[in-house]
Amino acid sequence: MAGLDPVSLTADLIRCRSVTPEDEGALSILHDLLKSAGFDCVWADRGGVKNLFARWGDKAHEKTFGFNGHTDVVPIGDADAWTKPPFGAQIEDGVLYGRGATDMKSGVAAFAAAAVDFVKDTPPDGAIILAITGDEEGDAQDGTKALLAHMEHASERMDVCLVGEPTCPDVMGDMMKIGRRGSMTAWIKIIGKQGHSAYPHRALNPIPAMMRLMDRLASHTLDQGTEHFDPSTLAVVTVDTGNPANNVIPADCRAAVNIRFNDCHTGASLSAWLEAELVKIETEFGVQSDIQIKISGESFITPPGPLSDLVAKAVEAETGIVPALSTTGGTSDARFVKHHCPVVEFGLVGRSMHQVDEHVRVDHIHQLKVIYTRVLKDYFA
């Protein structure tokens, strides 16, 4: 394929052991590549995390297209379970293997290659921004959020943004994301009174109270879904007393729940519901309680319109498939970008992301570059 090879670039990035929040040279590869192509590159590091901001074109331009992505990856897990070197970028039978092959070094390589070739071959009347972080797979507090803070301070602006996360469930082109569900976790502690299991009347067992609470939370229907979102879900992810003895009623019991919620709710409204349910349990069982809540992101949506149409038409032109507009899946950095400008996500088939022997088809990386190039051409046409 003519121009910058996104597969070779993906392989170079995979060889960097950039397990979040370490960079190990991944962003420097992109920095040098983009700088040599005429992009103005700025490091927007924060909290020990490396972040790269790159812009081609004058920031005074009225039309600015942005790409967002990350080069950090999750840990490899059991190294012995891998049949290919996790950071070897080995290609076999048209498939590239390695941690980050799908999520999402290939996506970053594809949009970087598309942007470099595009400004070289058909310099647009506008600007292109690439905002790439090394902190997406972790707490994500010093990654894209830091890039957006830098942009605000420097009076930089994206008019629209495409996040290169893997979005297709089964077939290249079958899905793009126009929003995401919110996500929150609650850690709950029920406090009773320790005692001998032969004399339960002298103790206050926190376990029945916790079981009642977990049953109520898990069996509660949060909603029926909305126009663009599936029904919200609550999952009990742990219940534990840390009690090794069979003749002791424990003093306390701990549990955690994770909620993925749609636009019927906010993190605040769900927090208030959890707290109210906990008060009921305290009253019914005479226990005390504590709750700690972390809201990872609110639900959001970029309503179908010019941006989603632009990307969908490019995907259909190159794959023959009209992508479904979805809000399914976990969280992504689009939840931060949505405060800045309209944002959608489109990328590769994500079936192997975070798995042992993570891999991607080589032809899909080339195809993704072509799709991103068409998006740029159509946007600046």
Helices 362-380 and 306-319: crossing angle, nearest 10°?
A: 130
Residue 185 · residue 258 · CB < 8 Å: yes
Whole-angstrom distance, CA of residue 217 vs CA of residue 212: 9
In the numeric block, the tokens 């595009």 are attached to 118
Active-site choice (23, 72, 142, 263): 72
Distance of CA 26 to the CA centre of its chain: 19
Cis amide leading into 21 (omega within 30): yes
Q: Is 240 a catalytic residue?
A: no
Helices (H) and strands (E) in the chain, counts: 9, 19
301: its two tokens = 């949506």
Question: Distance between CA atoms of 174 and 189, rounded to whole angstroms?
Answer: 43
DSSP string, 230-273: PPPEEEEEEEE-----SSEE-SEEEEEEEEEE-TT--HHHHHHH
| Known catalytic membership, residue 136 | yes
The active-site residue out of 23, 117, 135, 136 is: 136
Reading the block at residue 42, the tokens are 């700025």
Just list the catalytic residues. 72, 136
